[in-house]
Amino acid sequence: MTISTTTTTSKLELRTAYGPVFRDVLNTQPRDCTTEEIPIIDLSPLYSSKFEDREALAKEIRAAAVNTGFFYIKNHGISERIIADAKKQLLAFFTQPNEDKMKVSQSFSKYFNGYKGPRTTNISPGESVDVKESLGWRYSPQYDPDPKTLDAIPEEVKPWIRGEEFVWEGTSHLPGFKDEVLGYWAACLTLARKLVKVFALSLDLPESYFDSRTTYPGADGVFNYYPTTTEEETVNNAVGLGSHTDLQLFTLLWQDMTGGLQVLNRDGQWIKATPVEGTIVVNIGDFMMRLCNDIYKSTVHRVYNRSTVERVSMPFFFGEYKFSEPSWLNFNCVEGVVPSCTSETNPPKYEPISCGDWCQLRFKLENDEMKKKMAGQTQAPSAVIVAA
């Protein structure tokens, strides 16, 4: 008798601004990641004055980005104090009575800022609603650690500034909230602007390639709070946050030590991105994937909190939003595949689009579909994977 060892796969549906895409997923249990799959990269050379040091770092980043598209960074330069203060404020926010959280409800927002309650989003169409709740705030030039003269912001740029003050007004009763949350956000933005230079190097571009493109960047801060799942949700395989890719150039993701983040590796195997003390996770977003013609992949990930305690995370999404001179003169602010990633035999696979449009389109799509879903049912659906 022969025993079949063939592993079956399922198709996982992912939502993008241009409609669904599908990935093959092995029907095997998630396993721990190896250090080859998700390496820990020492970021100290980022702060070195020697070009060779930064170039060597760029090589490490390229290797990680073409492999799983996920890596941990240590010695990243964001202090433990800044992180601890932000986490303290995160907990202060989410442990408030619901009516206080609703003071900054996303329903007040034009641009997806504010609070979304638990089980009110469904990022992955084939999985359950997301058990997590979240608070998001977007780029505002008045809080940019690289100071901006507000009067000098070009008129054409202004419609692309997506930060909204109601987030800070509606949390002003929480002592130190705005300062400490924006302190963390500013530290992430400073780090991201340094890191994007190494990403440029890693793509054989000049270090300064993205500088003018990130003068008014996509810089979205989010706090995620994953309550423990109910017994029914556990039985129904409910996700904390369903399978998705991030949208911008890259994400800096601080996660607590609870665990629950899973990443789809190149073989279609779910692997666990186990928390590593003192590190931040970096992952590639869709816009980066488009710019580099798929050399780097935006990696699918999801979260299950199956522990007996809450889990929290603080992602920061970094992208080109609005170009500064001279690029903003090209007001469509679209960007195609970068020249170093194409050749005669490897033509661009993607039409140019702006990072801003790319995000706005998908946020809207997700929101509209969720509204339809909520209108049609009162109970959270259980997870369904589209059949192979």
- Which residues contact ligand AKG (rule: CB under 6 A)? 222, 224, 241, 246, 253, 255, 261, 301, 303, 313, 315
**Residue 195 CB, nearest approach to ligand AKG (Å):** 18
Among residues 292 and 300, whose Cβ is nearest to Fe ion?
300
Given the complex with Fe ion, which of 215 and 245 has the nearer CB atom? 245
Q: Give dist(CA 281, CA 135) in Å, integer.
A: 19
* By CB under 5 A, residue 366 contacts Fe ion: no
CB of residue 219 vs ligand AKG: minimum separation in angstroms?
Answer: 14
Closest residue by beta carbon to ligand AKG: 313
Q: What is the closest distance, in whole angstroms, from the C-beta atom of residue 10 to ligand AKG in the complex? A: 21
Return the number of the residue (246 or 335) whose C-beta is nearest Fe ion. 246
**Which CB, 246 or 335, lies closer to ligand AKG?**
246
Helices (H), the chain: 51-66, 80-94, 98-101, 166-169, 177-202, 231-235, 286-291, 355-376
Residue 90 binds which one of Fe ion, ligand AKG, none, with CB within 5 to 8 A depending on kind? none
CA distances from 145 to 141, 182, 196, 335 (A): 9, 10, 16, 25
CB 315, CB 225: distance < 8 Å: no
- 286 belongs to the binding site for Fe ion (CB under 5 A): no
Pick 38 or 201: Cβ nearer Fe ion: 38
Nearer of residues 246 and 320 to Fe ion, judged by Cβ: 246
Give the integer Cα–Cα distance in Å for 352 and 80. Answer: 39
Reduce the secondary structure of 153-217 to three states and give it as a string. Answer: CCCCCHHHCCCCCHHHHCCCCCCCHHHHHHHHHHHHHHHHHHHHHHHHHHCCCCCCCCCHHHCEE
> In whole angstroms, how close is the CB of 93 to ligand AKG at the nearest point?
16
The footprint of Fe ion on residues 241-260 (CB under 5 A) is: 246
Tell me how far, at minimum, the Cβ of 273 lies from ligand AKG, in Å.
8
Q: Which residues pair with 140 in a beta bridge?
A: none
Q: Tell the smallest beta-carbon distance from residue 386 to Fe ion (Å).
A: 20
Q: Are the C-beta atoms of 36 and 387 separated by less than 8 Å?
A: no
Token duo for residue 387: 């059949």
| Residue 303 binds which entry of ligand AKG, Fe ion, none, CB below 5-8 Å type-dependent | ligand AKG
Cβ distance to Fe ion smaller for residue 144 or 246: 246
Q: How many residues bind Fe ion (CB under 5 A)?
A: 1
Residue 127 found at the interface with Fe ion (CB under 5 A):
no
**Contacts for 213 with CB less than 8 Å, ≥ 6 apart:** 320, 323, 324, 327, 335
Per-residue CA distances from 191 to 57, 58, 125, 186 (Å) = 15, 15, 33, 9
The helices-and-strands tally (H runs, E runs) of the chain is 8, 15
Applying CB under 5 A, the span of 65-73, 176-184, 240-248, 260-268 interacting with Fe ion comes to: 240-248
Footprint on this chain of Fe ion (rule: CB under 5 A): 246
